[in-house]
A and B are shown apart, each in its own frame.
Chain A
Amino acid sequence: MNFLADAFYRYRRFWKALRMYLILAGPGIIVMVSDNDAGGITTYAVTGAKYRFDLLWFLVLLGPIAYFVQEMTVRLGAVTKRGHAEAIFHAFGPFWGWFSLLDLILTDWLTLITEFIGMTAALSIFHIPPVLTVILVCLIMAFMILQGRYWTWEKIVMGFCAINLIYIPAAFIVNPSVSDILHHSLIPHLPPGGFTNELFFMLMANIGTTIAPWMIFFQQSAVVDKNMKEKDMAWGRLDTAIGSFFTVMVAAFVIIVTGSVLFGSNIESAAQAAIKLMDVNKYLGTFLAIGLFDAGLLGAICISLASSWAFGEVFGWAHSLNARVREAPWFYGFYFLALITAGIVVLIPGAPLVLITLFVQVIAVTLLPAALVFLILLLNNEQTMGKYTNTLFQNIANISIVAGIIILSTVYGISAMFPNLFG
């Protein structure tokens, strides 16, 4: 009898905890899954085609790194009740505030263009013209944002996050060797051919798709808009940890699919990989194309919101998804302005899309070190954070991550601008 009572009590406790988590889950999972945007899926597809499973271990390492960085935004948002842009203005003054804000707006807008490039390429596989794709995407995003509730918006986005798992059945279709995958995931090693410039670029591209400046701004603003409090922080951390697990899992499954089927092929984009996969198995190609569209859509949803939130915070406009259009006209106006102009750029014949992609990388590189340094400084400010300042372990982990990223991203940024500089 005691056993039954104990089991019932545990069940009730578990159910209550699960319900609490489901209420508070969102920002962490959304930011992490959206991190696998159109550019990310392209990077993973190319990684698999070039190095098969040889870089899976590197992705496994990137999961905890993404978690450590994003977890800081949960604490900062829950304690200060300020978005990241406002927090920088408040703590560091107007110079750094404007620098971060303008850099974010420019990076986000350029990245939004790359999301549209991915989405139009994905749907063109199904013979849908780019102009129709752009209109469709704008309508979906308008519907999502204009319904007037953060909660509803979040649950719709979670639905799109679930579609991102489409790469899992795709991997089961190719039926790869599980022991081979586990071996490559758990034991760090260099691919055959050793450390080359090309490998360095690929590793950096993978880091760049895992940690991006907009993620810091987005998650902190989402935590504030969701009205998460200090007592909810543990759930926010769990949400971020689950999200980082999903981001690595989705990335790994894309690599498993392209590594199994397209290894040795000269692949330059995820859309190209999807077309090649269609020749092998039509479901594989279809899954990759749907996943690419979904990834671009998720990226577009989060990136356009990150900018609008940041502008709203600094300019003092109403900037909540719980506000109606007439209550927050600037917030929604800015959102649609960024979205529609980015969509139009993709439709311009002969638009310099390659140059845009290059500048997205470089501008993101300029913002990333600044954003990460500010994050560490803010999280060590006892006056603001109280008992939630970084612990010694968190500081060692985060400062090591930030120092590593600053060095690598600088080399990457310079070599992206001057490809022949390092021979």
Chain B
Amino acid sequence: MKIRHMFNDLVSTIRQINQKYAHPALKTGKGVQISLLILRVYLIVLVGLLFVKFFLSLKSS
């Protein structure tokens, strides 16, 4: 019961944080937005590679 209560508290805190920062304060131009999009793709690719490596390590062991 206590764990459930703590979990609910955590979820509500995270929701509050998301609401608090919902509107980014930095007004960005087109160039910056494109850079951030590229960064997002770059990170997704790198994280994807990380998963591939993880499964390859699992397979080899």
Contact = CB atoms under 8 A, between A and B. Distances in A.
Interface string A77-103: 000000000000111111011010000
B14 to A, nearest CB: 9
Contacts of B18: 94
B61 to A, nearest CB: 9
Given A414-B49, A417-B50, A92 B26 contact: yes
A340 B46 CA distance: 30
A378 B24 CA distance: 12
A377 B32 contact: yes
Interface string A321-332: 000000000000
A375 to B, nearest CB: 12
B47 interface: yes
Given A94-B17, A355-B57, A413-B46, A373 B24 contact: no
A362 interface: yes
A197 interface: no
A408 interface: no
B43 A370 contact: yes
Main secondary structure of the interface of A (DSSP, over half): helix
A93 B21 contact: yes
A331 to B, nearest CB: 15
B42 interface: yes
A91 B24 contact: yes
B21 A97 contact: yes
A418 interface: yes
A417 B53 contact: yes
A418 B47 CA distance: 14
Contact of B21 (A89, A99, A378): A89
A32 interface: no
Nearest to A95: B40
Interface residues of B, number: 25
Interface residues of A, number: 31
A381 B39 contact: no
A399 B43 CA distance: 19
A93 B17 contact: no
Given A93-B22, A377-B32, A366 B43 contact: yes
Given A315-B17, A377-B32, A90 B57 contact: no
Interface string A371-414: 00100011001011000000000000000000000000010011
Contact of B50 (A362, A383, A384): A362
B26 A381 contact: yes
A99 B22 CA distance: 15
A369 B23 CA distance: 23
A418 B53 contact: yes
A94 B53 contact: no
B8 interface: no
A417 B49 contact: yes
Most buried by A among B13, B17, B22: B17
Contact of A93 (B24, B35, B42): B24
B25 interface: yes
In the A-B complex, the 5 residue pairs with the smallest Cβ-Cβ separation, listed nearest first, are A91-B26, A93-B24, A417-B53, A89-B21, A94-B18
Interface of A: 89-94, 96-97, 99, 314-316, 355, 359, 362-363, 365-366, 369-370, 373, 377-378, 381, 383-384, 410, 413-414, 417-418
Given A97-B17, A355-B57, A373-B35, 20 more contacts: A89-B20, A90-B21, A90-B24, A91-B24, A91-B25, A92-B26, A93-B23, A99-B43, A362-B46, A366-B46, A369-B42, A370-B39, A377-B28, A381-B26, A410-B42, A410-B46, A413-B49, A414-B49, A417-B52, A418-B53
